[in-house]
Structure 1
Amino acid sequence: MFEPSRQRYLLDPGRLLPAIGPIVLFMLWYGVVELHLVNPVLLPSPWAALTALRDAITNGSLPHDFFATLARTLESFLIATAVGVPAGILLGSNERGYRSVEFLIDFFRSTPSSALIPLFMMIFGVTDINKIAIAAFAAVLVILFNSAYGVMNARKQRVMAAKVMGATRLQIFRDVLIWESLSQTFVGLRSGVSMALVIVIVAEMFIGSENGLGHRIIDAQQVLNVKDMYASILATGILGYALNVLFLILEKFVVHWNGK
């Protein structure tokens, strides 16, 4: 027998809410195809795309590209995190320091990173390092920005309480500001990993690449293999969604006191 709380959880209709979006999307997709609103050559049915996705997984061609993209995304994200979080925390704890570089941060954060691909190609050449470098550059700005604002917007009451209790500036920074900034920092990390994935996909499309989901998408488009193209796009979306969910779970585990 299930416990009452467990039974309520299993019967809770709210558990089905996340499925509504994908169902509506596939229904609209199916309707567009059935009504011939788009040329079937350019837009296959959702079932055809899902079948192509299944076949690409079972024959082993998709996992190779999937994990190549995942590896580049994680490498660039880890570099961005290692640079962006400490720099953001340090700048956020010194508001004058942050204001002195705010223009540069906002300027490059507002500049589409894909526009800088030619510059990075001149510096790093047509290599994997180029893809990782441009993705890390795009992600580090998002992470730094959120980490800095997380520190600057730390709850003043807790900072004042620490001062009243005789805490030193170092203790306030280490025991209050850093922990208070974690919630906003995780927002930056989630945005950063999504940004890294987007730029990696774009770089795989337009910078010489032999593998990766971006390479797979552009290759399928060039030979008009639309089923495989849509299957690869679906795989990219699944990867992005999985990374986002992973960070949401990690955030709930690490910043469990948020809002209390």
Structure 2
Amino acid sequence: MRAVLPPILGALGFIAVWWAAVLLRVADPVLLPSPAETLRDTIEGFRNGPLLFDTWRTVWRTVQSFLIATAIGVPLGVALGARERIYRAVEFVVDFFRSTPASALFPLFLILFGVGEGTKIAVAAFGAALVILFNAAYGVMNARPTRVLAARVMGASEARILWDVMLWEAMPQILVGMRSGISLALVIIVVAEMFIGSTDGLGQRVIVAQMLFETGLMYGVIFIAGALGYSLNLLFLVMEKKVVHWAGK
């Protein structure tokens, strides 16, 4: 209860402030509907509208891009981290594109992949892969020297040291990268759904609701996207505690 209570109180506090803003007419009721109206419109969107399908499409695109990013970022990051000189040679390129807003890369990916499903997944996978690669490489490079030295003294080969020592030492940092990667993938997917010829997804639903002045539904979709991001982050936090329980020991 101690762990659950603060988030619940925070959510209730947010709703109370929202209600107060509506009652005080801080904004036009058309632009700022009440929490009850937003909840009603969101439920209606799930019952009789395409909101359930839109949510599924966004989740599926995010999962696809994350799996591609993980399949590329983890092995490449581990390989580069094991050869620090090589990583230092490409570090500028990795950091440059990792720091570049993904939306600025949309025109490039549109030229490469055209207007379609592949573009959204590719640009999200690219952004997430760089974050995962960065964390995996630094996780390997920061492996504790005493354990690596102990493995060498016992006659372990470089491949064995990489697999049995460095990889497990880097696992906490790799999971941090994966947690950041899936959150970034969700953000890029939602933005891509807004601007790259999409007919479904939460991003597209926000744009359509905004144009039709369905503000209750618009806020509801925004909260659904936020809840997805929060849930994915929470899932990976639990995984970090369960899977890499040796972190920091």
| TM-score in same-fold range (> 0.5) | yes
* Aligned-residue offset at 1:60: 5.2
Q: Which residue of 1 aligns with 2:181?
A: 192
SS of 1:149's partner is: helix
Q: Which residue of 1 aligns with 2:137?
A: 148
Match of 1:204 among 175, 193, 198: 193
SS of 2:76's partner is: helix
Q: Which residue of 2 aligns with 1:4?
A: none
Q: Which residue of 2 aligns with 1:6?
A: none
Q: Which residue of 1 aligns with 2:219?
A: 230
Q: Which residue of 2 aligns with 1:8?
A: none
SS of 1:166's partner is: coil
**In 2, Cα distance between equivalents of 1:23 and 1:130:** 39
Deviates more, 1:184-193 or 1:37-46: 37-46
SS of 2:234's partner is: helix
Q: Which runs of 4+ in 1 moved over 3 A?
A: 12-15
Q: Which residue of 2 aligns with 1:24?
A: 13
Q: Determine whether 1:122 maps to 2:111.
A: yes
SS of 1:257's partner is: coil
**In 1, Cα distance between equivalents of 2:129 and 2:186:** 13
Match of 1:33 among 22, 35, 52: 22
- The alignment's TM-score, normalised by the length of structure 1, stands at 0.92
- Root-mean-square deviation (CA), in Å? 1.3
Q: Which aligned pairs between 1:8-157 and structure 2 lie closer than 5 A?
A: 12-59=1-48, 61-157=50-146
Paired residue type of 2:199: E
* Aligned-residue offset at 1:79: 0.5
Cα offsets for 1:73-96 (capped at 9, x unmatched): 111111000000000000111110
**In 2, Cα distance between equivalents of 1:235 and 1:165:** 53
Identity among equivalent positions (%) equals: 55
* Aligned-residue offset at 1:14: 4.1
**In 1, Cα distance between equivalents of 2:174 and 2:143:** 11
- The alignment's TM-score, normalised by the length of structure 2, stands at 0.96
Q: Which runs of 5+ in 1 are unaligned?
A: 1-11
Cα offsets for 1:117-172 (capped at 9, x unmatched): 01111111110001001111111111100110111111222212222322222211
* Aligned-residue offset at 1:20: 2.3
